[in-house]
Amino acid sequence: DSHIQYERVGADVTMKCGSMDWDAAVTWTANGTDINESRLNGSYLILKNVNLSQSGQYSCYEGSSWHLKYQTSLRVGMPPKEPVLMCRSNNYPKGFYCSWHLPTPTYIPNTFNISVIHGTKDMVCEKDVIPKNRCHIRYLQLFSTVKYKVTLTVTNALGKNSTTLTFDEFAIVKPDPPESVVAKPVPNNPRRLEVSWQNPSSWPDPESFPLKFFLRYRPLILDQWQHVELSDGTSHTITDAYAGKEYIIQVAAKDNDIGTWSDWSVAVHATPWTEEPKHLTTEAQITETTSASTSSFMAPPTTKICDKGTVVGSGAVAVCWTAGLVVAAYSVLFI
């Protein structure tokens, strides 16, 4: 006969060798390894203050014949703590889902039971296959002021625990983040970025239940975000970007009328358009420039020398200024 025995961490466990008398000569094994006789009290196996590592298969054999007399699978674990329960509607007005987890593991099997009551009516929460700690409910009514009461009970061999959430229909509405966020520079516009996105695919009817959006953006080099709230449309042009700076951009969504903001979308990066600095293209131009300073320094062919008259972004201007300083320094050296 094989058994399963659940014991709490820290408990003292006594195992009897089936129907054998206390004074019978027996040998106990744990996972096939003989257990020291010091652990025995007669034919009883005594395990004090058990810990998780002592889970396993325990077998008891009659002394001389080695007949297997008793076998048990010891599972050391814990009773469940209060579970963490969350309910949310990301597909309003179709329904909502609830998901749960335990704050600490029990190390033994648990069963979860969920009940949903709307007023006096019991509702069925259909368990999802994946993930298995989730179930979903279809709304039978909309616009009700009556609250929903969801109770989750977790049970295992060592105890049970439960938690209850009470909420109204509007409070748990939270869309998924917007999808396919794209940010692009605008040609010939050094301070603009064009951002577009799509409604989350889980939101079933954006035409009847439109979403509004919140855009946030900042240059990578700064910590402060700029925010824009948009009541319609799935695109926006940023017009105050710092020229030449790489930006990080995110978007969030909310039902136009009820509920809370989604999490932020995946971040996208973009840099506004900048004009390429102009080159000097002829050798004659390069020779003319260096002979005036009486130095034999010649700019290498790959150096780009800026034209002062060119309108460029602030970053490119700094580069131009630095190159000019280097040329001047070398010129002085060779006078």
Task: List residues binding another protein (CB under 8 A).
Answer: 93, 140-147, 170, 207-210, 257-258
HSE toward the beta carbon, residue 246, CA cutoff 13 A? 5
Helix (H, G, I), strand (E, B) or coil at 222: coil
- Of residues 144 and 274, the one with the C-beta less far from another protein: 144
Rounded CA separation 9/78 (Å): 6
Helix (H, G, I), strand (E, B) or coil at 102: coil
Q: What one-letter code names the amino acid at 50? A: V
Nearest approach, Cβ of 227 to another protein (angstroms)? Answer: 21
- Of residues 212 and 216, the one with the C-beta less far from another protein: 212
Nearest approach, Cβ of 206 to another protein (angstroms)? Answer: 11
Helix (H, G, I), strand (E, B) or coil at 315: helix
Reference 332, options 294, 301, 284; nearest CA is: 294
Nearest approach, Cβ of 104 to another protein (angstroms)? Answer: 31
- Of residues 119 and 159, the one with the C-beta less far from another protein: 119
Element (H, E) at 76: strand 68-77
Q: Token pair for residue 47?
A: 């395990």
Nearest approach, Cβ of 57 to another protein (angstroms)? Answer: 53
Nearest approach, Cβ of 132 to another protein (angstroms)? Answer: 30
Name 279's bridge partners: none
Whole-angstrom Cα Rg for the chain: 36
Looking only at the bridges linking them, the beta strands covering 126-127 and 148-156 are unpaired
- Of residues 44 and 209, the one with the C-beta less far from another protein: 209
Nearest approach, Cβ of 196 to another protein (angstroms)? Answer: 24
Element (H, E) at 68: strand 68-77
- Of residues 38 and 145, the one with the C-beta less far from another protein: 145
- Of residues 31 and 231, the one with the C-beta less far from another protein: 231
